[in-house]
Amino acid sequence: MTGPKTMNNNTRRRFGNHKPKPLIPQEAVPTLTFGPSNNWIDFSKKMALAAGDRFGRLGDIIEQKVYTVPPLPVADMSIVDSTMRDEVLKSDFRERAKLLSKIDSEKPMLYAFIVSKLSVDSEDELKRHVNYATFNTSKDPLQLWLALKQLHLVTTVSKNAAFVLRQAEKDFMVCTQGEYEKIQGAI
């Protein structure tokens, strides 16, 4: 038989003729790096998507920088029966209380999720933050996010001498001079 060969499942697996499995938003969040060339912008965009997907209304703190609290329910005056109106209002208050309770119970989980995406250098800088003890004790994700933004949105490097020296060594190690290139400098 001389005809075109067909690929079977084993051949597809071996040669990679398959589509990669798409990442869920939590897996797509990169590790936040520290320094002048950090990835804050990409990190914050992907963290906003992942936090919104996983934590719903609580995840809105990433973009809005405040906790969004559902408004107080208002009695529906179109319901004529006052006992029915009161029951509907009580139900609305119960739903609001459940939502607020859920938000409060998920704050430490969002805090842990954000901290899990920090590099060692970012975490070290975060521990030096003025309010670290306060928001770490309460596991407040909003204060954590604001501190991370304050530390990573700036273009300057750390004030820590050891970190500055380590960054200078990394930068020096990637410097190269080509075979016929002359050194530019003070001449």
Note the pLDDT tens digit of each residue in 14-46: 555 566 666 676 777 888 888 877 888 888 889
Q: Which of 51, 181, 149 is nearest to 103 (CA)?
A: 51
Could you give the count of Cα atoms lying within 13 Å of 10 in the half-sphere of its Cβ?
0
> What percent of the chain shows pLDDT beyond 90?
25
Show the tokens assigned to 14.
């071996």
Cβ-Cβ contacts under 8 Å for 71 (sequence gap 6 or more): none
Is the pLDDT confidence value at 186 over 80? Answer: no
Residue 187 confidence (pLDDT) = 43
Q: For the residues 139-148, what does the mean pLDDT come to?
A: 92
Note the pLDDT tens digit of each residue in 76-123: 888 778 888 889 889 999 999 999 999 899 999 999 999 999 999 999
Q: What interhelical angle do 40-55 and 82-116 show, nearest 10?
A: 140
Which of the 8 DSSP states describes residue 36?
T
Q: Where are the domains of the chain?
A: 29-69+106-171
